Amino acid sequence: MIIVLMGYMGCGKSTIGRQLSKILRFDFLDLDDYIESKEQYSVKEIFNNKGEIYFRKKEATYLKEILESKGNKVLALGGGTPCYGNNIDLILNSKISKSFYLKASIPQLISNLKNEKDKRPLISHLNSKEEFAEYLGKHLFERSPFYSKANYTISTDQKSVSEIVEKIVLKLV
C-alpha cells in the first residue's frame, strides 16, 4: 500500500508523513527529498538553475517511479505535485494507493511557513504577512480543486501531529 499525503506547502505533509510511517512501520518517502537525491541538487537550486518546468518534469517522472515501486510506504508529495500534468490521475488510479489531503487554513499555513520560506522558491520572495496572505489565498484557491480529489480530507488546523496521524490511521482500518 502507498499512503499519499498532499496539500499546500507547509500543511505538514513531511512532518505527518514521517510520524505516520513510524507508527505503521512503513517506509517513508518525501518526493522533494527523493528529487533532490536523484538530481543531486536542492529543490531551490533546481528552480534557480534549470527552471520550474524542468522541476515539474522530474517531479512527474519520480512520482511515477515511486507509484510503480513495491512495498508499503508513506509518500509525502511536494505542495504542487497533484496540480500538474496528469499526476492527480496517476495517484487516484493507482490500485495500491490511498490519498489524503491535509487541509489547513491560510492563517495556519502562514504560521507554519513563517520561519521556513527560504527553501521554498515559490514563496521566498514574500515579505509582509499581508503579501503572504494575498499570495496564499490566490494560490490555494487555484490548487484546492486538485487537493480535494484525494480519497480523504483531514482538517489539520490547531491539531497536534499525533492527532492528525491518528485520524489518518482510523481511515485505514
Ligand X SMILES: O=C(O)C1=C[C@@H](O)[C@@H](O)[C@H](O)C1
Q: How far is the CB of 137 from ligand ATP (least distance, A)?
A: 17
- The correct pick among 5, 14, 80, 132 for binding Mg ion (CB under 5 A) is 14
Binding to ligand X by residue 32, rule CB under 6 A?
Answer: yes
- Write the single-letter amino acid at 141: F
Residue 122 interface partner, choices ligand X, Mg ion, ligand ATP, none, CB cut-off 5-8 Å depending on type: ligand X
Q: Tell me whether residue 96 or residue 161 sits nearer to ligand ATP (CB atom).
A: 161
Q: How far is the CB of 152 from ligand X (least distance, A)?
A: 20
Tell me if 61 sits within 8 A of 108, measured CB to CB: no
For residue 121, the partner it binds in ligand X, Mg ion, ligand ATP, none, with Cβ less than 5 to 8 A by kind, is: ligand X
Exposure pattern of 111-133 as b/e (b: 16+ CB <10 Å)?
Answer: ebbeeebeebbebeebeeeeebe
Member of 7, 12, 17, 78 binding ligand X (CB under 6 A): 78
17 binds ligand X (CB under 6 A): no
The closest alpha carbon to 70, from 16, 2, 15, belongs to 2
Residue 25 annotated as lining a ligand binding site: no
15 touches, from Mg ion, ligand X, ligand ATP, none (C-beta below 5 to 8 Å by class): ligand ATP
Residues that bind ligand X (CB under 6 A): 9, 32, 43, 78-80, 120-122
List binding-site positions for ATP: 10-15, 120
